[in-house]
Structure 1
Amino acid sequence: MLPIDDCVIHVVDDDEAFRRSLVFLLESVGWRVVSHASAEAYLAAGSDATPPAGCLVLDIRMPSMSGLELQERLNASGTLLPIVFITGHGDVELAVQAMKHGACDFLQKPFKDQTLLDAVAAAVRRGAEQRSRAAQRDEAEARLGRLSPRELQVARLVARGLPNKQVARALDISEKTVHVHRQHVMEKTETGSAAELARLMLRADPAALD
């Protein structure tokens, strides 16, 4: 889990008194908290643009833009900030919908302080894991991006475990040419074996070897 100082918890709720109580609770255990009176205020603050690690504690029902609408907008922009929804009575169906669209959790009012703290901690951990996977994917894509189209064809077959002779036959090139391409693939991707190359390709795209 990321150090608590590296995280920001965004609280978005139109109920000022309730919002302040959430901020007080989260700050009491060391979280850095930024509060917003509406979804529009959150967006206007630029909080959705490359947000720091942390999570979003979001009221599901608000005037004008609802929590679900904000979630939809964040999903469309690719924002990797995990969401814990706060729901009122009768909002469970909406909360289930939010979970289907990637929310980490939903808490129905009234809830215990520790329940919220546990949900926020779990969301922060999930966000850290998502960011780590995204960073690994980006790094793998960058290494594979060094390959020429032909080298990428060779790489896919090598990563599937095919020997040079079968790669040559599949691509209708000489075995010697495959050997040269294979060396270039290993050098450019900084891998030392077919298994390592396969792991790299799967990090970039889980369906790469289908």
Structure 2
Amino acid sequence: MNQKVKLLTDNIEKVIVGKTDSVLKIITAMLCGGHVLIEDVPGVGKTQLVSALARSVDGKYNRIQLTPDVMPSDIVGFSMIDQKTHELEYKEGVAMCNFLLADEINRASPKSQSSLLEVMEEHQISIDGKTHELPLPFMVLATQNPVETYGTYHLPEAQMDRFLMKISMGYPSYDDELDIMSRAERSGFAKNIQPVMTLENVRELMGYAENVTAELSV
């Protein structure tokens, strides 16, 4: 394992206990420039995992709790008239970041879900004829609860296609639960994560990932 990747993994696992496979998968998706859908029941650490990744990398992290009243402009931003110049001025939405946590994505209306299509595929935002590039790396990590259907909207195939992978964390084992409780008693261990990697480090590793080739033997 690359030393920088191991350092990042170890740092995230200060908070996420016993889920090395899930941690490595979201790191892999990040280095491939992909997005991840985390589908699992409440309370298994979905949001904590995303937050730990974002805090471990010195980038901009935004979170939006998706509900039926969330508008597309909340996600991608909007244009408004500048009172001094009388010109359109772009006001950023939450998508203008490196790591976007879209919490409970299936609670957003289809209209708001659609605003993520260009963001996830093209890594850009088009508003009023102008294109705004998103920073690199850019990653959407969305969560959804698979067992609840009341007040939710089914994710269309076009939306699902934007995700590189869908993962499920599952409940921790008995020993892992004891470890989690032991760490929690040490006053706010989850808030003590410090960045161990810069955005430049991530871009460098993404460059290595782009050079990986796979051959199909017939």
TM-score by length of 1: 0.33
Greater RCO, CA 8 A, separation 6+: 2
Q: Which has the larger radius of gyration?
A: 1
TM-score by length of 2: 0.32
